[in-house]
């Protein structure tokens, strides 16, 4: 079996460094076997939101959350801080596979999820540095503008035309003064957040509801009615697996989810006059439509937090602390920021970090319930999980609550009809096939972006290579 150990020291991210002791959620030590009605594996946002809503729906149930490293150690505490309405599979794909009505219902649910997150943060008095500034998706070349226009047309066809707007170059530049800007798409459906404050805040709320959070305790294997850990066994009726990028570390699951690294940098706080020239006054998150994804936000304390994909996939789904930083990727991401905003050239980069995302083979997130084993698996967000985790947590809670109330014969929740509820993705190919395919796709994306920037024409060949290697 392909397997690697994980170093559980906390990452040196901007988010980790700006999280106060009062904001941290303290976990309980785990030293012996226990029993719980529901065991959640993973103290990231999927697991914590699941526990939050389960505690409301089943107040008499005993719920235990376990994590190998602690609250927010993985992607939930390290990400770019976009609580968006995005999912890794777009409306057109959902329509092809499930029909137009299902696609509309799912997108509507994602929009409503932002309201739900804001409502919970207000109710639980969680300060997560949240601002609903929306997202601006810039077009900086003709191919990017074509993709932005197509995306807006797609939203219009599904009835969301008022939610996704095409901006001309002047209006876009007033909002975000990027170089080479020729247009953009704007949507109000995104919250800029401090992800570690969000995750620890939800964890504290979960503990107040009577849920036990144990760490460090590592799940080794899952079987009907039991979770075997490195410190003992948990006997349980239901198991919620919310392991995302760390799924490959579980016994017999090394091909279920690929851990693909995303990398970030953060700058020192910028002076007000520089922000006046840059824009982003209402803190919209920002990206463009290049193939090798970039993403950024203006933080609540006036920094750039900026990241990108393109780090190498490590053979055998390896996960190590040494992979959390990468000098080459740091330089590429920093150079991309300078290309977008040249006035940042002399600004100090204070932080560089990364971590693994969970990538299913079909590039689609899902929630699956296997009632024969009592296992509910949720995740596969491909980096679009900050708000989707809330939706998935509510789905997990509804699945278990409906099972408890009427054995699942008459589901009462509309969420259970959403097209993300269903079969898991097929498994990834064995090594070395997936190492070759994933890293070849990474190189193809970089070549496609370079070609489009140089020629101003869409890179159909390299775009097709990316789809052929990774997404089919």
- Report the C-alpha gap between 381 and 395 in whole angstroms: 15
- Summary mean pLDDT of the chain: 93
pLDDT digits (tens, 9 = 90+) for 395-438: 999 999 999 987 555 656 899 999 999 999 999 999 999 999 99
| Of the candidates 301, 307, 304, the residue with the CA atom closest to the CA atom of residue 278 | 304
Count of residues in the chain: 472
pLDDT digits (tens, 9 = 90+) for 45-66: 999 999 999 999 999 999 999 9
- Report the C-alpha gap between 413 and 410 in whole angstroms: 9
The pLDDT value given to residue 468: 56
pLDDT digits (tens, 9 = 90+) for 306-360: 999 999 999 999 999 999 999 999 999 999 999 999 999 999 999 999 999 999 9
The pLDDT value given to residue 463: 57
145-148 long-range contacts, CB within 8 A, separation 24+: 145/182, 145/183, 146/458, 147/289, 148/183, 148/184, 148/185, 148/289
Q: Tokens 């009835």 sit at which residue?
A: 159
Q: How confident is the model at residue 451 (pLDDT cuts 50, 70, 90)?
A: confident
pLDDT digits (tens, 9 = 90+) for 203-244: 999 999 999 999 999 999 999 999 999 999 999 999 999 999
The pLDDT value given to residue 32: 82
The pLDDT value given to residue 47: 98
| Of the candidates 389, 414, 411, the residue with the CA atom closest to the CA atom of residue 402 | 411
Tokens standing for 198? 């969000």
Q: How much is the average pLDDT of 127-150? A: 97
Q: Which residues pair with 234 in a beta bridge?
A: 34, 227
Q: Tokens 């074509």 sit at which residue?
A: 146
CA 100 from centroid of its chain's CA atoms: 25
pLDDT digits (tens, 9 = 90+) for 186-204: 999 999 999 999 999 999 9
Q: Does residue 26 register a pLDDT over 70?
A: yes
- The backbone torsions φ and ψ at residue 203, rounded to the nearest 5 degrees and listed phi first, read -60, -40
pTM of the model: 0.95
Tokens standing for 22? 């009062």
DSSP labels for 200-254? HHHHHHHHHTT-EEE-S--EEEEETTEEEETTEEEEEEEEEE--GGGGGGSTT-T
The dihedral of CA 58, 86, 173, 307: what is its sign? positive
Are the beta carbons of 17 and 23 closer than 8 angstroms?
Answer: no
| 28-42, 97-111, 441-455: range with lowest mean pLDDT | 441-455
The pLDDT value given to residue 6: 47
Tokens standing for 60? 């008499």
- The backbone torsions φ and ψ at residue 258, rounded to the nearest 5 degrees and listed phi first, read -90, 130
- Report the C-alpha gap between 401 and 390 in whole angstroms: 16
């Amino acid at each position: 079996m392909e397997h690697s150990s994980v170093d559980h020291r906390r990452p040196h991210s901007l988010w980790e460094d700006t999280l106060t002791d009062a904001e941290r959620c303290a976990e309980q030590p785990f030293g012996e076997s226990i029993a719980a009605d529901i065991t959640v594996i993973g103290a990231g946002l999927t697991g914590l939101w699941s526990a939050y809503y389960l505690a409301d729906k089943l107040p008499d149930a005993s719920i235990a959350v376990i994590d190998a490293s602690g609250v927010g150690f993985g992607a939930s505490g390290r990400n770019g801080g976009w609580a968006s309405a995005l999912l890794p599979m777009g409306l057109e794909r959902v329509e092809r596979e499930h029909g137009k009505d299902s696609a509309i219902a799912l997108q509507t649910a994602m929009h409503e999820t932002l309201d739900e997150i804001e409502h919970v943060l207000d109710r639980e008095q969680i300060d997560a540095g949240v601002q609903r500034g929306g997202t601006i998706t810039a077009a900086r070349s003709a191919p990017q503008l074509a993709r932005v226009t197509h995306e807006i047309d797609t939203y219009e066809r599904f009835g969301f035309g008022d939610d996704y707007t095409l901006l001309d170059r002047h209006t876009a530049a007033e909002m975000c003064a990027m170089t080479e800007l020729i247009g953009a798409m704007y949507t109000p459906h995104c919250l800029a957040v401090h992800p570690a404050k969000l995750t620890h805040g939800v964890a504290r709320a979960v503990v107040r509801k009577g849920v036990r959070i144990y760490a460090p305790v590592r799940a080794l294997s899952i079987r009907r009615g039991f979770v075997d850990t490195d410190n003992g066994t948990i006997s349980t009726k239901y198991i919620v697996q919310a392991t995302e990028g760390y799924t490959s570390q579980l016994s017999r699951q090394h091909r279920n989810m690929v851990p693909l690294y995303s990398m970030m940098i953060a700058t020192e706080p910028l002076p007000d006059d520089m922000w006046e020239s840059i824009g982003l006054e209402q803190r919209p998150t920002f990206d463009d439509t290049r193939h090798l994804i970039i993403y950024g936000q203006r933080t609540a304390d006036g920094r750039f937090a900026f990241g990108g994909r393109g780090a190498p996939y490590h053979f055998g789904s390896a996960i190590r602390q040494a992979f959390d930083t990468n000098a080459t990727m740091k330089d590429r991401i920093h150079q991309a920021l300078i290309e977008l905003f040249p006035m940042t050239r002399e600004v100090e980069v204070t932080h560089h970090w990364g971590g693994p995302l969970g990538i299913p083979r079909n590039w689609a997130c899902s929630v699956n319930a296997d009632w024969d084993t009592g296992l509910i698996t949720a995740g596969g967000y491909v980096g679009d999980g900050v708000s989707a985790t809330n939706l998935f947590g509510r789905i997990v809670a509804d699945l278990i609550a409906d099972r408890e109330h009427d054995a699942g014969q008459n589901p009462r929740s509309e969420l259970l009809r959403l097209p993300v509820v269903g079969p898991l993705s097929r498994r990834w190919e064995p090594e070395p096939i997936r190492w070759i395919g994933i890293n070849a796709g990474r190189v193809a994306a970089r070549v496609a972006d370079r070609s489009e920037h140089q020629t101003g024409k869409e890179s159909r060949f390299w775009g097709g290579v990316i789809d052929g290697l990774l997404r089919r």
